Amino acid sequence: MNKEINSFEIVNGLIDSSVKKLNLGRAVYDLLSQPQRVLTVTIPVQMDDGSVKMYTAYRSQHNNALGPYKGGIRFHQDVDLDEVKALSSWMTLKCAVLNVPYGGGKGGVIVNPKELSFGEMERLCRGYVRAIAPVLGSEVDVPAPDVGTNGQVMAWMMDEFSRFKNHNEFGVITGKPVILGGSRGRIEATSRGCVFTIREAARAIGLKLKDATVVVQGFGNVGAIAARLLKDDGCRILAVSDTSGAIYNPRGLDISTLEEHKACTGSVKDFPGSQSITNEELLALSCDILVPAALENQITGANAAQIKAKIVAEGANGPTTPEADRILAARNIMVLPDVLANAGGVTVSYFEWVQNNSGYYWCEDEVNERLERKMVEAFNEVYCLYKKRKDVDMRGAAYMVAISHLAEAMRIRGWLGTQMYSDAKCEFKLA
């Protein structure tokens, strides 16, 4: 997270604005502005040289009005508590936008996973689960992968929790390998959901995807798969970046060959036929669709005026700051917000959880069809509100949809009391 920009303050500012636009009471904001529970734990890990190193880690459980807490576990050297709290808030909103019966959670460990051996990584994963096991469970809190973690990490964590419980509990973790109860289509889900949202947005503004130009910031799991899927839709991928730098080819990049190049070399640098550019140059390229799929706070007040895309589809969480949002809105650039655009991952995580609980598993086509249906329904609800109201952009509309769902659930559960709704208890409804 950019330390000069506090993501937790950003998300709370957006929640506050949406609560006011929906004419809700202060209690709604108070319940959504802070997590219900935050754990800070210290994990001792024996390193390969025999020494013991201590790692600080977090788990933020934001709100469970709609269902169990749900959210990824991030392994990154720049993890901090406010970042984890912000990400758990986004997860609550994301689940509410998609009508997925989960609340929001998030975990983080302060570590550079690239510095760990395979064995050290496993011991850290198991130690993290042991530290937070009392607040986990398939009906309590269901983690998943995030930056720096993957299916193997989830397998270790599920196994450790199952040892803690003395029986297999596949449903406590999602994003697992298929052989251990993972869902087909889960690896591609975040990217595929983002592409479904881009398709709907392109249709809404009259942009044809065939020959549309695309720039992708972040060529990790989300960005690389999104680039491949958009190329399959006929788009031309002009530029991509990863932590090593950015590359550009005005004629378009061969994504399949680029994926092979990165698998062999570890980066997109020096890809044949491309030229190196800076991250700043990449974001300022003229294109139809920009997909920021890296980390938070990449499009800011300092560079938003240089964005030349028609659609900005947030594959990452929180890549655009509020100041940048205002600039982009004034320039009629449609931003597909993270709580909508990258919600495919949590949606298929929900499908995985459902399959674990039922013991019946779906084929990949069925997963993708169900995902498309959920993403299209969510886009239409957000877009209809965006078109109906003149005082919100797509992000504001998405937040209002999410908070209306959450407020209804909290009211019915009795969390908000009765006085504020005694005269007009359905005042916050969108219709």
Catalytic residue numbers read 106
Q: Give the 3-state secondary structure percentages of the chain, helix then strand then coil, rounded to 5.
A: 50, 15, 35
Cα of 156 vs its chain's centroid, Å: 22
| DSSP assignment letter at 289 | E
CA 403 to chain centre: 18
Distances (CA, A) of 106 to 4, 112, 233, 254: 21, 18, 33, 35
Asked if residues 88 and 35 have their Cβ atoms less than 8 Å apart, the reply is yes
Residues in the chain: 431
Reported as type and span, the H/E element at residue 291 is strand 289-292
Tokens of 285: 């390229």
Starting from the edge strand earliest in sequence, which strands make up the sheet with 275-277, in order?
A: 275-277, 245-248, 236-242, 213-217, 289-292, 311-313, 334-336
Q: How many CB atoms lie within 10 A of CB 232?
A: 10
